[in-house]
Amino acid sequence: MPNNYKNKRQLSVWGLLVLLLTCNSTERSNGSGVTLHIAGNHFMKVETEGQFSAISYNIAGLPAIICSAKTPRAESIATIGKKLQDFDIVHVQEDFNYHSQLYDNDNVHNYRTETKGSVPFGDGLNTLSKFPLSNIVRVKWNNCTGADCMTPKGFTYSQIQVALNVYIDFYNVHSNAYNTLNAASARRENIKQLSDYITTHSAGKAVVLMGDLNGRYGFFYDNIQILTTKNQLQDAWVMHIKGGKLPDALKIIPAANILNLTDSSETIDKIFYRSSETVELKTISYSFLNQIFNNKEGLPLSDHHPVSAQFSWRLKPARDYLSGHSFKAK
């Protein structure tokens, strides 16, 4: 949920009843965690290098009565579903009450996570992929504040096979919102929890992490930089737009309207990545998409602009990663 919208800050009991009454998600789980929509047999090729595009988008799928987006939700999310077809791997956040509109208007992603439901039952996190998707795990935050506690927000872990036997760990993240001291404190705990999970479950693996982190390097009370220091992740925006230099951390409350940002401004929607000993992962480009995901009148389809990156990967020759290890003769 975005930092700056007052109408999300407090939900009364009546508001919760409205949420329950307006739930309209129809997808059911078959227990596998992945919904397969396959137009034909998907054969993986033996490859040593390749490319893929990735996008992260908070689609503002809350019920229209409490949603901050200014365009009709069902129609807008149907349009989003069509536009997301241009990307290979998609992470969405706040995919709640209009999930069917999103999935029904996408015909190219053969691999999709199953929805966990509308507000207040689901976490709003889903992944759509043109590559095989497996080992999906949903993790709820241990800490939250205010309205963020009314859904099981957190992150998802999955593995995506970009070529035969070439896997990358993917994380889809939605952290605690708002910039009050209490909210920022909960968000810092979210990032620590995420960082610890990566340390344990993605040790030695290539990683792509995307999502609405609701945090900034430029806000003194945030700590997202530990993803770069502890987990050795690189930020695509920092690398491509800021020349590798992090913004200065200030105690000033960040600007409220995230729709007015440009690619030179830090956004709460982020893309991180790292290589492994066997897979070299790089970003060819980074884009802050503040024009493509608008309706015919030029209004944003959500209360966020998405961020995207073009990735390249290659398998490192054995000599590259074996050179750092010593072996004893038997």
pTM: 0.86
Q: In a 10 Å sphere around its CB, with 0-12 CB exposed, 13-18 middle and 19+ buried, how is residue 135 labelled? A: middle
| Cα–Cα distance measured from residue 72 to residue 62, given in angstroms and rounded to the nearest whole number | 11
Q: Identify any residues that bridge with 128 across adjacent strands, giving them in sequence order.
A: 90, 112
pLDDT the model gives residue 69: 79
pLDDT the model gives residue 71: 87
Q: Look up residue 2 and give its two tokens.
A: 């975005």
Q: 137: part of which helix (H) or strand (E)?
A: strand 133-140
Residues with Cβ within 8 Å of residue 31, at least 6 apart in sequence: none
For the chain, domain boundaries: 56-322
Rg (CA), the chain: 19
Residues with Cβ within 8 Å of residue 215, at least 6 apart in sequence: 175, 184, 187, 191, 222, 223, 224, 268
Binned average pLDDT, 10 residues per bin, the chain of 330 residues: 44 39 35 46 82 98 84 94 98 97 97 95 97 97 96 97 97 97 97 98 98 97 98 98 95 88 94 98 97 95 97 88 46
Helix (H, G, I), strand (E, B) or coil at 111: strand
194 φ/ψ angles, rounded to the nearest 5 degrees:
-65, -45
pLDDT the model gives residue 322: 55
Class of the domain covering 56-322 = alpha beta
pLDDT the model gives residue 4: 43
pLDDT the model gives residue 7: 43
pLDDT the model gives residue 17: 37
Q: Look up residue 242 and give its two tokens.
A: 């800021």
